Amino acid sequence: MANLKDLKTRINSVKSTQKITSAMKMVAAAKLRRAQEAAEASRPYSSRMQQVISGLASNASKATAPALLVGREIVKTHLLIVVSADKGLCAGFNGSIARQARIEIKRLENEGKSVLLYMVGRKAADNLSREIADKTFARIENLQGSGIDYNKVGEVAEKILHGFENNSFDSVSIIYNQFVNAITQNVVVAPLIPAQIEENNSESGASNYEYEPDENELLEQLLPRNVTTQIYGALLESSAAELAARMTAMDNATRNAGDMIDRLTLVYNRTRQANITKELIEIISGAEAL
C-alpha cells in the first residue's frame, strides 16, 4: 500500500500538470480563431488561381506549354513537400503526416521513381530521420511561428522552382493537414508540379476570353506564383489544424488529469482512514492488555 506522502506528492504533481494543460488549451483556443480565419480566407484565392490556370491551359498548346503546367514526359524523381509542426503535444497531428509520407514514398518507389523530401517543420523530420537521411532535398523550421510570412514562403517556392529548372526532380506534391473543424483534420496530398488542372472548367468561362499577351506568356508568370500560393495556403491550413489538434489534445489531457486526481484522492483518503483505523486498533489492544 502506498504511503500518504507519496500519494500527496503524486496528487500535487498531477494538479500542476493539469494547470499547464489547461493553460495550453486556452492559448491554442485564442490563436485558433485568427488562424482559422486566415485559412478560410485563402481558400477562394487558391481556388480561383487554379480556375484561371485551367482556363489558360485549355487554350495553350501542349507542345509549347511550360513544363510547370504539363510536366515532363519522363518522371524519374519526385519531390514531396512534407508539412508538419515544429512542436508536439497535438495528438496524432504529426504522426498522421509522417505515416502518409511513408505511404507516398513507398508508392512512388514501387513505381520506379526516386524520391526527395522537402521537410517543413521539425516533428515529421525527426520522426522520419532514419528513413530519409539520403532523401532530404531541404529542411526548414519555424516557418509556421507567430504568423506565416508570405515572403518566406516565396523563398521556399523559389528554391523548389530552381530545383525543378535544374532537373533535380521532375514533379512535386505537398502533404499537409487540412483544417476542417476543431476536432477534425484531413491529411491532403496535392500535386504542385505539374499544376493541378480542373477537368470541368466551364463555369469560369476562361475559354471565351482573348488574352494579351498570349496564354503561354501569362502561364510563365502565373505558374510560379501559383506554386507559392498553393504552398502558402497549405501552411495556413496546417497552422490552423495544428492549433485545433493541440486545443483538443490539451482539453482531453486536462479532463484525464482531473479524473486521475479524483482516483488518487480516493486512494489517499482510503489509505489515511486505514492508517487511522490501524492506530486505533493498536491503542485499544494495548489498553486491553493492561
| pLDDT tens-digit map of 15-46 | 999 999 999 999 999 999 889 998 899 889 88
Dist CA 23 CA 276 (whole Å): 38
Residue 207 scores a pLDDT above 60 = no
The domains found in the chain, sorted by start residue, are 22-249 (3.40.1380.10)
pLDDT given for residue 69 in this prediction: 83
Residue 58 pLDDT greater than 90, yes or no: no
User: Does residue 147 register a pLDDT over 50?
Assistant: yes
pTM equals 0.83
Label residues 114-126 b or e (16+ Cβ within 10 Å = b). ebbbbbbbbbbbe
Q: How confident is the model at residue 61 (pLDDT cuts 50, 70, 90)?
A: low
Tell me the CA distances in angstroms from 54 to 32, 172, 219, 256, one per residue in order.
Answer: 33, 18, 10, 50
**pLDDT above 80 for 59:** no
- For residue 209, pLDDT beyond 60: no
Asked if residue 194 has a cis previous peptide bond (ω within 30° of 0), the answer is yes
Question: Cα–Cα distance between 194 and 173 in angstroms, integer?
Answer: 9
pLDDT of residue 203: 47
DSSP state of 199: S
Query: Does the pLDDT at position 129 exceed 80?
Result: yes
Distance from CA of residue 138 to its chain's centroid? 17
Q: Are 95 and 127 in contact (CB under 8 A)?
A: yes
Average pLDDT over residues 177-184: 89
Torsion of CA 143, 144, 148, 153, to 10 degrees: 40
Cβ pair 79, 137 in contact under 8 A: yes
pLDDT tens-place string over residues 82-111: 999 988 888 888 999 999 999 999 999 999
The distance in angstroms from the start CA to the end CA of the chain is 31
Q: Which of 117-121, 149-153, 172-176 has the lowest mean pLDDT?
A: 149-153
Distance in angstroms (rounded) separating the CA atoms of residues 55 and 215 = 9
Judged against a pLDDT cut of 80, whether residue 144 lies above it is answered with: no
